[in-house]
Structure 1
Amino acid sequence: MQNETRDIIGIDFGTTNSSVAFAAPQSQGGQVQMVSFPLAAGGDTFSSRSLLYLERQMHAARKPVSAWTGPQGIEKYLAHDSFSDETQGRLIQSLKSYLSARTLTGTEIFGKQYRFEDLVARILTNLRLRASEALGFEVKRAIAGRPVMFVGADNDDDNAFAENRLRAAFEQAGFTDVTFAMEPVAAAYAYESTVQRDELVLIGDFGGGTTDFSLLRVGPSARNWNTNRGELQVLGNSGVGIAGDAFDARIVRRLISPALGSESVAISAGKKLPVLPAWVYANLERWHTLSFLRTHTTMDMLRMAEKRAAAKKAPEREQIASLITIVEHDLGYRLHQAVQRVKVELSHHDQAEFVLNADMLHLRAAVTRAQFEEWISPELERMSESLDGLLRDTGIAANQVDRVFLTGGTSLVPAVRRIFTSRFGGNRVQSGEAFTSVAYGLALMAAGK
């Protein structure tokens, strides 16, 4: 009979990326195995994009809808021919950001209504099935990560609502037993596996949609042995609903949207009015909402604006045409990838160039690190306030913290790292695996359960 604790996995369902890990029980060494996700081009990855791509066959009798997630979803989306009349495609991303949104109960796709939990469950189902295949047993039980504060949550009730929705999606995906753990606490377990002495550690976990901090005592004698599992001593948590996606949005707003007509104005009754409403460009800023612009009403509005600009020989005509191309051909993922490349390049260099090359569109724009840091200054300030609030609430001075452990892609942004090096010194700040540390720690927690 299989040890009942053996089949519990750790699963980090993230805003942008998800990962899964499994650890043998501590009595058997507790070795952690990361679940890999195969790539069509060969090789594999330990992080799977948290996205859902739906495609409908237009000429089949019942117009069947197929669904893919993760690397396969990306490959199917990129291979889809937007000009073809044979299929329709819809890419859905960053669903985790909407867990606390009570007004978002579902959406219509290809004329069919889908509950919000249905869409999340599709992604979780594929993660569960891939984990079962890779690990050699049917995955039914998990310790899942959750942020300290979900995106959009203002209070404990909002957090509870978001967690309950996520639990319902897990259950719909075939999980029979799900326990939630704070993501920065899970990252602390990953960090503790590397230390040989007791430490007071600050964990910074930077996801696509949330930034979370935790203060914990870790190490051989730092566990709370008054519990059955010897849990880590958590001194305090704090979090804020901003992270990598917010940085991307700033790049789109300040660098890309102006090249697509966001600053264009027209004279009407002696007043300057924007050529297109601001909400159009707001949907561009969140790459998971760009596809929402692909409605008949919105496309008609954009084409009418292009015609008016062409009739007046206005300079914004080409800008609006480029915007129409991005929306019509659902170039949100390509746009986002280009933004990501700029962000990464600015982490290593003082300047970078945004480049979007598609068959039907080519955009280029230069940006400096100084500009980028100015654009994200409001987000940096909120992160700093959350961190300082945690230190203040726990009564811990910065010089008492032995180590700062940062995880998540946004932690590599120089301006973000300065938040920590300015308070704790560079010698105490280190980074973990950007996309897998939380899943790794969740697996260790499951092994000790």
Structure 2
Amino acid sequence: MKSMGAAQSRRDAVGFDFGTTNSSIAIAGEDGQVQLASFPSAGAVTPSFRSVLYFEQYRNSDGAKRMHSLTGPAAIEHYLQTDEKGRLVQSLKSHLSSQLLTGTEVFGRRYKLEELISRILSDLRKHTAHQFAKPIRYAMVGRPVRFVGAEAEEDQEFAVSRLRAAFALAGFEHVNFEMEPVAAAYTYEATLDHEELILIGDFGGGTSDFSLLRVGPEVRRRGRGKQDLLGNSGVGLAGDAFDARIIRKLVSPALGSNSEARSLGKLLPAVPAWIYANLERWHYLSFLRTNNVREILKSAHIRALEPEKIEALIAIIDEDLGYQLHHSVQALKFELSRNEDAEFRFFNAGMDLRIPVQRTSFESWIAEDLQAIEGAIDKLLQSSGVDPRAIDRVFLTGGSSFVPAVRRIFERRFGKTSIRGGNEFTSVAHGLALRAAESLAHAG
């Protein structure tokens, strides 16, 4: 990539939040005001762009096979409308730290992970450039404190290098990186007229990240220094992990995960467990549409003691209903964030699932994940040497920050009145734009 030239100005202060589930972009103008890019979705506009990529094949006028791709809301809408499904890919960010997963094959062509990500980034860049009528070549890019699957600093560096390469392929000449919770702190800081010590909790689809830092007008005036960031911590799980628990506890049993089949006079599991593991990530469901899986399920259906459940599983896979299943899971999480009781509903593929769920049950399913989140917070407090009573405010952002059990973790440690939130899905992009403006001002 090219180094940032003197021709760049504050007008180029772009914040780019590429998320596991959703992405958003913001631009800080010369007056310090921040504007979010907006994207068409289902006849409306939204500041969040689904981080998905869809490939499909078609035949042109001479009968030759061609392939094209779509991203974001358009990808999902097209995927749902077409009868013959193509390949829908999601959660690409969660694979960045894996040195084993270099890419995947789509319709006979091999794509590197960086190439797949760059298609999403390129469409976002072009759309934003068109909306704001200016070229987008530089961005301040968010990154998690700890990438999903990263076990060592080498994994972290590898993930950042791949993300940087993807931005270069997408047409960016220069990018800088900032921790996502630190970016969210910039958004909160813009509302302050006094100094505070704050804890930021950023909950994405794949990671939960935390930062402890000093913010306020005096910090902005003198310039932020290393002494103002007291520490970072993170864990590679968040909303996607919660969704997986719901599928495992509610949906998979209705599709035969606990069912048995007779084989040589013995009772054995009807279907291999790895098939249900793929069901827990809706975008993996398309990977099950293979002849091998079809033969496994055909045999299981014949031998199963509960063949109707296996039949329902076959229908969900054949009709590629992962997205619809995901939508039902999201609706349940939303209701359980507002009420003590809710009902999981899924009507498709001949299934009519209506399962009452108590919030306490859901919280028991995600108990291990909540413990991991608590552990990351405790690690941050211990490594920074900060007494919880010294923290003035806790700012929570990201979709899973709405989950009551998540909020209680912070209420127990810091008090209910200290918790703040707002712009949960765009605060990182907003803060990244402010951070970009600050960086460009210092560079100029």
TM-score interval (norm. to shorter): over 0.9
Q: Output the CA distance in 2 between the equivalents of 1:219 and 1:117.
A: 37
Taking the aligned partners of 2:287 and 2:163, their CA distance within structure 1 comes to: 23
Q: Corresponding residue for 1:50?
A: 51
Residue 20 of structure 1 aligns with which residue? 25
Does residue 106 (structure 1) correspond to residue 103 (structure 2)? The answer is yes
Q: Distance in 2 between matches of 1:241 and 1:165?
A: 18
Report the alpha carbon displacement of residue 43 of structure 1 after superposing the two structures with TM.
2.1
Q: State the alpha-carbon separation in 1 of the partners of residues 227 and 58 from structure 2.
A: 52
Tell me, yes or no, if the aligned pair for 1:99 and 1:166 is still in contact at 8 Å.
yes
Q: Map Cα deviations across residues 196-222 of structure 1 (whole Å, 9 max, x no partner).
A: 100000000000000000000000113
- Flag the 1:98–1:441 CA change in 2: closer, same or farther, 3 A: same
Matched ranges for 1:232-311 at <5 A: 233-268=228-263, 271-309=266-304
* 1:448 partner SS: helix
Deviations 1:10-50 (A, max 9, x none): 010000000000001xxx321000000012x4220000100
Give ranges in structure 1 of 5+ residues lacking alignment: 83-87
Q: Distance in 2 between matches of 1:94 and 1:362?
A: 28
* 1:122 paired to 2:119: yes
Higher alpha-carbon deviation: 113-122 or 144-153: 113-122
Pairwise CA distance, 1:364 = 2.7
Output the amino acid matched with 1:66. Answer: H
Displacement, 1:187? 0.2
Partners of 2:341 and 2:231 in 1: how far apart? 38
List aligned pairs for 1:19-98, cutoff 5 A.
19-24=24-29, 28-39=30-41, 41-57=42-58, 61-82=63-84, 88-98=85-95
Q: CA deviation at 1:360?
A: 4.9
**Partner AA of 1:35 in structure 2:** A
- C-alpha separation between the residues in 2 aligned to 1:232 and 1:431? 25
- 1:362-401 aligned at under 5 Å gives the runs 362-401=352-391
Residues 1:188 and 2:185 aligned together: yes
State how far apart, in whole Å, the 1-side matches of 2:262 and 2:301 are. 16
Q: What RMSD in Å do the two structures reach over aligned CA positions?
A: 1.8
Rounded to whole Å, the distance in 1 between the matches of 2:374 and 2:349 is: 42
3-state SS of 1:222 partner: helix
Letter in 2 for 1:75: E
Q: Are residues 358 and 2 of structure 1, via their aligned partners in 2, closer, same or farther at CA, if it must alter by over 3 Å?
A: farther
In the other structure, the counterpart of 1:85 is: none
Alpha-carbon deviation of 1:387? Answer: 0.2
Q: Could you tell which deviates more after superposition, 353-362 or 117-126?
A: 353-362
CA distance in 2, matches of 1:107, 1:140: 28
Equivalent pair of 2:261/2:303 in contact (CA under 8 Å): no
Stretch of structure 1 that moved more, 98-107 or 409-418: 98-107
**What is the CA–CA distance in structure 2 between the aligned matches of 1:129 and 1:440, rounded to whole Å?**
19
Equivalent in the alignment of 2:314: 324
57-66 vs 44-53, which deviates more? 57-66
Equivalent residue number for residue 3 of structure 2: none
Measure the CA separation in 2 of the matches of 1:248 and 1:232: 38
The offset of 1:307, in angstroms, is 3.0
Question: Is residue 348 of structure 2 the alignment partner of residue 358 of structure 1?
Answer: yes
Q: Superposed, which structure 2 residues align to 1:327-342 within 5 Å?
A: 327-342=317-332
Paired residues of 1:217 and 1:223 also in contact (CA < 8 A): no
Deviations 1:52-88 (A, max 9, x none): 1111126862221121111111111111114xxxxx4
TM, length-normalised to structure 2: 0.94
**Between Structure 1 and Structure 2, how many residues are aligned?**
433
5 Å-filtered alignment, 1:134-283, equals 134-223=131-220, 225=222, 233-268=228-263, 271-283=266-278
Structure-1 residue corresponding to 2:434: 444
Aligned residues with identical type, % of pairs: 55
User: Deviation of residue 304 (structure 1)?
Assistant: 2.3
Q: How much does 1:269 deviate?
A: 5.0
Q: What whole-Å deviation, never above 9, does each CA across 1:399-442 have from its counterpart, x for those lacking one?
A: 10000000001000000000000111110001121210000000
SS at match of 1:288: helix
Q: CA deviation at 1:361?
A: 4.2
Query: Cα deviations across residues 273-326 of structure 1 (Å, max 9, x unaligned)?
Result: 2111110000011122221111221122112222333xxxx32x1111111111
Letter in 1 for 2:71: T
Give the C-alpha shift of residue 266 in structure 1.
2.5
Q: Structure 1 length normalisation: TM-score?
A: 0.93
SS in 1 for 2:86: strand
Alpha-carbon distance between aligned partners in 2 of 1:277 and 1:152, rounded to the nearest angstrom? 25
Which stretch has the larger CA shift, 400-409 or 388-397?
A: 388-397
- Aligned letter for 1:404? V
SS of residue matched to 2:219: coil
Contact 2:263-2:303 at 8 Å conserved across structures: no
Q: CA deviation at 1:255?
A: 0.7
Counterpart amino acid of residue 161 in structure 2: N
